[in-house]
Amino acid sequence: MKKLFLASFILFAFSSIATAQQLKSPQGEFEMNFSLTSDGTPTYSLKYKNKEVVKTSKLGLELKNDKKSLLNDFTIVDSKTATFDETWKPVWGEVAQIRNHYNELAVTLNQKGTDRKIVIRFRLFDDGLGFRYEFPSQKNLVYFVIKEERTQFAMAGNHTAHWISGDYDTQEYDYTTSKLSEIRNLSSKARSENASQEGFSDTGVQTSLMMKSNDGIYINLHEAALINYSCMNLNLDDKKMIFESHLTPDAKGDKGYIQAPSTSPWRTVIVSDDAREILDSKMTLNLNDPCKIEDTSWIKPVKYVGVWWEMITNKSTWSYTNDFPAIQLGITDYSKAKPNGTHGANTAHVKEYIDFASKHGFDGVLVEGWNQGWEDWFGHAKDYVFDFVTPYPDFDVKDLHEYAKSKGVKMIMHHETSGSTRNYERHLDKAFKFMNDNGYEAVKTGYVGPILPVGEHHYSQSIINHYQYVIEKAVDYKIMVNAHEAVRPTGICRTYPNMIGNEAARGTEFQAFGGSKPNHVTILPFTRLIGGPMDYTPGIFEMNIQKFSPTNTSKVNSTLANQLALYVTMYSPLQMAADLIENYNQFPDAFQFIKDVAVDWSESKYLEAEPGDYITVARKAKGTNNWFIGNVNGETPRTSNITLNFLEKGKKYTATIYADAKDAHYKTNPQAYTIRKITVTSKTKLSQLSASGGGYAISIVENK
Ligand code: NOJ
Ligand code: CA
């Protein structure tokens, strides 16, 4: 599918001894200036519509055990510009075609005294800047260890930021919205508990970071193509308002083992004065390599249900028995264990989910807690936790395979690694073969708890390599991967579209662990989703969890209409209907939207957007003339005004509008919704009130 049907690449090469270079974006709104300071330190700056976005900022890397770092004493020995323009078709996506259009500047630098060369490559798009370090093959720079990357992003003011605290292990935090100058004082409050976490600074934040300047410029900092390198956090010098890269260390405290020739990931700055354009940006995908999978016919978007929310909410358990204080796989004898009576993944119950999926047209059923080991699954630096092939006595793999097949439903495998990456790698071939043999085409992986080997972090280089290894190994077995607790994505799904999902942020599960902020879902598309889709697991209809799980007093901070909208606003080719069957059966009319909504799109139109406040998006279902609209709203009730001018002129459509009732509120009245049907055309204007923590969802079907 990596079809290139319009590509041009023009190269202008010239040798230069100048110390400054300028690059403009194709439409000319961006200007990037590269220069060397008097001591030979590389710097860059970025302007958008003549306004400073990144002030003069230093570039370079501090090395360990080397006589000299790659920070200064450089001269420019070569400089090449080029322009590139292609349009490519993603296997799945928000749109059917993506234009990749940029102007490029590649500066080759030579270091005086060491005679070592690095290339800094800049790509300037109409939506922002990407740049990376390249380490060409050479005699004087072969193996080296990074002590710290010293890439700066000097901000032009005390912007408002939507941030989560810097961390080596988790992104599962609520966002804090504050001025940059307030981060330091808010940082400890911003860190809620997680099974695995390690911060590094009071002014450390994670990417993708979304900011807004006082004069209305939206700035997003992130990275693209994080391969064989450690994940970048940012550390803020809050006197000067300069962010500097802070890489995740390994168990020894080192930040990267590099062998030339190689490259760093791209550092990205997406910019616009219109928030909708940030959501529309395809720069992160464009900075990744084209698809490396020859035959992609087995990669398909998936809508699924599962035996999951009941364990997350404590209604049932992953574990099978309460008999054992600890488990040793292969030694512990489950055949003699007394079932605890709360085990969710039993054959009969899974069949109810298969029936439900089949009846309502879902593609798949996820089952967690099917395999031995859950009685004792994380903590204790336990290496051998699961073998990924041995089911509990009450989970009949063969029977369920046959049953699901007869109902036209695919089973989705679950591999919780509990952070034990080596154990997972040891079992991977067998586990994927087991999936092939039993009809599983997709796997949800998980990395809860501290990473093993001991001392490594979720975002260290070697663990980044582990996630990548799993994705590439899965290609051999034609398996789609949805990784939880792995590093946040950086557009790698362009190259490996079998990576159909990722968590790497605070997902719906936290609504059962005390709740998330009601405006969380108005921020995620500006932050976490910049790198790729999220398995957010929306569709919760019962907000009062205690109604079905007496010990859990957590409330879902969202209205029911907001939950429907998430299928459109949180773009993903993998969408779960996460609630219990019994809760969907109570609201069949609202459930109809989840049944109808598409998971693959040919067009997407961002109609309204302000991070932290609201997002409204319309998407056209691939291969049809039907559209779906989603609006999510933050704390403050708001009237959304949209025009349906994207509909085909002259045609009539039936719109079904699922909206908050007048008295809906995420806290006090979350299940109050209305459904109405109207005829619409491309001239229709809609005005719709969204409640606090609310929203609306619309399906628009062409009248035949
Ligand atoms: C955390 C994941 O995010 C969640 O979806 C999963 O159910 C648990 N880990 C158990 O693996
Ligand atoms: Ca998680």
Q: Which residues contact 60 (CB under 8 A, 6 or more apart)?
A: 41, 42, 69, 70, 71, 72, 150, 151
End-to-end CA distance of the chain: 32
Q: Check if 416 has its Cβ closer than 6 Å to any atom of ligand 1.
A: yes
Tokens of residue 625, six digits: 């003339």
Atom nearest to 368 CA in ligand 1: 7
CA 623 to CA 96: how far, in whole Å?
10
Q: Which residues contact 520 (CB under 8 A, 6 or more apart)?
A: 174, 175, 506
Nearest CA to ligand 1 atom 3: 484
User: How far is residue 504 CA from its own chain's centroid?
Assistant: 6
Cis preceding linkage at 391, omega within 30: no
Q: Burial of 701 by CB count in 10 Å (0-12 exposed, 13-18 middle, 19+ buried)?
A: middle
Cβ proximity of 107 and 120 under 8 Å: yes
CA 629 to CA 619: how far, in whole Å?
6
Q: Burial of 308 by CB count in 10 Å (0-12 exposed, 13-18 middle, 19+ buried)?
A: buried
The pLDDT value given to residue 2? 39
Q: Which amino acid type is present at position 566? A: L
Which of 368, 485, 508, 574 has most ligand 1 atoms within 8 Å of its beta carbon, as the pocket-test mutant? 368
List the one residue out of 505, 489, 508 whose CA is nearest residue 579: 508
CA 620 to CA 642: how far, in whole Å?
16
The pLDDT value given to residue 9? 57
Half-sphere exposure of 193 (CA within 13 A, CB side): 3
Q: Check if 368 has its Cβ closer than 6 Å to any atom of ligand 1.
A: yes
Residue 593 backbone zone (phi > 0: left; psi -120 to 50: alpha; other: beta): alpha
Atom nearest to 308 CA in ligand 1: 7
Nearest CA to ligand 1 atom 11: 416
CA 283 to CA 128: how far, in whole Å?
8
Max alpha carbon distance in the chain (Å)?
Answer: 78
Q: Which amino acid type is present at position 355? A: D
User: How far is residue 106 CA from its own chain's centroid?
Assistant: 29
Bridge-based pairing state of the strands 20-24 and 98-111: unpaired
| Whether the domain at 6-286 and the domain at 302-600 fall into the same CATH topology | no
**Ligand having the closest approach to the CA of 506:** 2
User: Which residues hold their Cβ within 5 A of ligand 2, which is an ion?
Assistant: 484
6-286 CATH fold: Beta-galactosidase; Chain A, domain 5 (2.70.98)
Q: Which amino acid type is present at position 311? A: M
Atom nearest to 318 CA in ligand 1: 10
Tokens of residue 675, six digits: 């459904």
Atom nearest to 446 CA in ligand 1: 11
The pLDDT value given to residue 19? 75
Q: Hey, is 351 helix, strand or coil? A: helix
Tokens of residue 596, six digits: 């109808």
Cβ proximity of 30 and 104 under 8 Å: no
Atom nearest to 537 CA in ligand 1: 5
CA 701 to CA 704: how far, in whole Å?
9
Strand order in the sheet with 601-610: 601-610, 614-621, 627-633, 695-702, 653-660, 673-680
Annotated active-site residue in 29, 509, 610, 702: 509
Q: Which residues contact 89 (CB under 8 A, 6 or more apart)?
A: 1, 3, 5, 96, 97, 98
User: How far is residue 66 CA from its own chain's centroid?
Assistant: 36
- Per-residue b/e over 643-681, b at no fewer than 16 CB within 10 Å? ebebbeeeeebebbbbbbbeebbbeebbbbbeeeeeebe
**Sequence spans of domains, the chain:** 6-286, 302-600
29 assigned to active site = no
E strands present in 429-486: 440-446, 480-484
The pTM of the full predicted model, rounded to 2 decimals, is 0.97
Cβ proximity of 302 and 364 under 8 Å: yes
pLDDT in tens, 218-268: 999 999 999 999 999 999 999 999 999 999 999 999 999 999 999 999 999
Q: Check if 446 has its Cβ closer than 6 Å to any atom of ligand 1.
A: yes
* pLDDT mean for each 10 residues of the chain (704 residues): 49 56 97 97 98 98 93 97 98 98 98 97 98 98 97 98 98 98 98 96 98 98 98 98 99 98 99 99 98 98 98 98 95 95 98 98 98 94 96 98 98 98 98 98 98 98 98 98 98 98 98 98 99 98 98 98 99 98 98 98 98 99 98 98 98 98 98 98 98 98 96
CA 414 to CA 367: how far, in whole Å?
7
Which of 385, 386, 484, 511 has most ligand 1 atoms within 8 Å of its beta carbon, as the pocket-test mutant? 484
Cβ proximity of 486 and 458 under 8 Å: yes
d(CA 195, ligand 1 centre) in Å? 11
User: What pairs with residue 601 in β-bridges?
Assistant: 621
User: What pairs with residue 632 in β-bridges?
Assistant: 615, 695
Q: Which residues contact 23 (CB under 8 A, 6 or more apart)?
A: 31, 32, 33, 34, 81, 103, 104, 105, 122, 124
Q: Hey, is 596 helix, strand or coil? A: helix
Q: Burial of 179 by CB count in 10 Å (0-12 exposed, 13-18 middle, 19+ buried)?
A: middle
The pLDDT value given to residue 20? 84
**Ligand having the closest approach to the CA of 371:** 1
CA 615 to CA 279: how far, in whole Å?
9
Bridge-based pairing state of the strands 440-446 and 410-416: parallel
Classify domain 302-600 by CATH architecture: Alpha-Beta Barrel (3.20)
CA 81 to CA 683: how far, in whole Å?
45
Q: Check if 127 has its Cβ closer than 6 Å to any atom of ligand 1.
A: no
What are the start-end ranges of the H helices in 202-326?
A: 275-280, 283-286, 309-312
d(CA 47, ligand 2 centre) in Å? 38
CA 345 to CA 394: how far, in whole Å?
8
Q: Check if 535 has its Cβ closer than 6 Å to any atom of ligand 1.
A: no
Which of 416, 417, 447, 506 has most ligand 1 atoms within 8 Å of its beta carbon, as the pocket-test mutant? 416
Give Cα separations from 550 to 316, 512, 524, 545, 666 (angstroms): 11, 12, 30, 8, 21
Tokens of residue 136, six digits: 């060409």
Show the CA angle centred on residue 332, arms to residues 329 and 335, nearest 5°: 115
Q: Check if 509 has its Cβ closer than 6 Å to any atom of ligand 1.
A: yes
Bridge-based pairing state of the strands 574-576 and 302-307: parallel
CA 155 to CA 161: how far, in whole Å?
12
